Structure 1
Amino acid sequence: MSYNVVVCDDENIQVNTINRYIKKVAGEINIKVNITNSNTGEELLQKVNDNIVSIKDTYIFFLDIEMKGMDGVQLAKKINSINKDAIVVYITGFKDYALKAFEVRAFNYLMKPVLYEDFKHIFIEVLNRLKEIYYRIEKEKEFVIENRGDIRKIKYDDIYYFEKILRKVKLVHKNGEIEFYMTLKKLKANIDMDNFTQCHQSFIVNNDKIDSYKNREIHMKDIKYNIPVSKRWISEVKNTLSHKIFN
């Protein structure tokens, strides 16, 4: 996973310092980061209008409070109006300004000159908070089924697996089963495959519902049903399990 980070400060020295710190922490904990820099709030919003950066897809913001034109508090309010989950960390040279951070539910603040250890501590806290946000977003995702005018929404968190049976797909979820007409190719295009793994020509399983894998069978959580794993998909299943273990 790659994390999008925005740094906005009217001092280039400060921007360069924060960039260096971000990359250093990323290297130490082995994550990827994409950084967008701006010197004013207006410049950042112009980059949003020009599709250079998407606030909806960015959750980490390091903002200077006192900037020419739009200040950090005003900028944070605009960011929060677009992305309510945005994590804002203020950078300031004045403690009095730090109190304004709480006007927009700022996550924390850093005092200038920013020291690396202080930055690292807060950046790690930000990443931990972001994991909680991602977890909630994953829980809220839904699969929408439209069949002859009937629309059903099933949360990803309630889905165990999909099984292809002739021309239909059977969806097994915590409250029962639903069958609908669809190819697995179209199904995979309509669900977020970061949450699911195809393990057989007829089966796609919810990664979070996998309990264990043994003898080319997936043992599911909560239900007494083992799903076969074809030789073709063994490596994908093992990659999914490795990701679950290390994340």
Structure 2
Amino acid sequence: MRAIIADDEPLLRYHLDQMLADVFPELEVVGKAANGDEALSLCLKAEPDIVFLDIRMPGLDGLAVAEALKNVEKQPIVVFVTAYDEYAVRAFEHEAVDYLLKPLDDKRLEQACERIRQRLKEREETSVAAAPDIEAILKQLSVSEPEYLRWIRASKGEDVYLIACDEISAFVAEDKYTSVYSDQGQHIIRMPLKELLPQLPPDLFWQIHRSTIVCAKRIQKISRSLTGTVTVVMDDGRQYAVSRRAASMFKSM
């Protein structure tokens, strides 16, 4: 089985390749593309069984590449790599075409690979290279992106502040509230992380611990101890522990 990975983030391409080697060893990644035009060219040349397509890429985006693949004789299984939350993709979660949310999750990737195996098995049994219903999935993906929070109302003492999300470094769960660390200092909100996380852009805010969400672009460095403990150091100097489950996000960093 042959696959192509297309994403404009070099780190994600590398990370997905490494994860696939662990959970899908029989799959051979025969090419990687940094944009949609490269992805389409690779697909026409290599005729892969599976294509992992980022939705947002320079040139042709993932949706345009998938649209073009409807016209090839050997249509690959398309797995979208997307920042849409689970509600936006629920309509096609059980269809032949699957999706992966950024940042990538080992368990979710295993589920996607199992669906891919099942689809390939069905093709072999019927001896018909039945293509996934890409057109129907494209139509579902064409809905507007969910509206994520752009501002956070947080308090300090008796005062309430309006803080832009792109100024926020981290959210840390405390006893009965959540601390917000931003360019304006420390504030608090009365919202648990479980409720807050789905409202934040998933390609920007990562939950690295059950009590911590950080802004990915504000991570200054990753620190690893001799015992394997991972810590992120933010550009404001604050340090946060990474749980063992979330540590896979930083394997290639």
TM-score of the two chains, using structure 1 as the length reference: 0.45
Structure with higher RCO (Cα < 8 A, 6+ apart): 2
Q: Which has the higher helix share?
A: 1
Of the two, which has the highest radius of gyration? 1
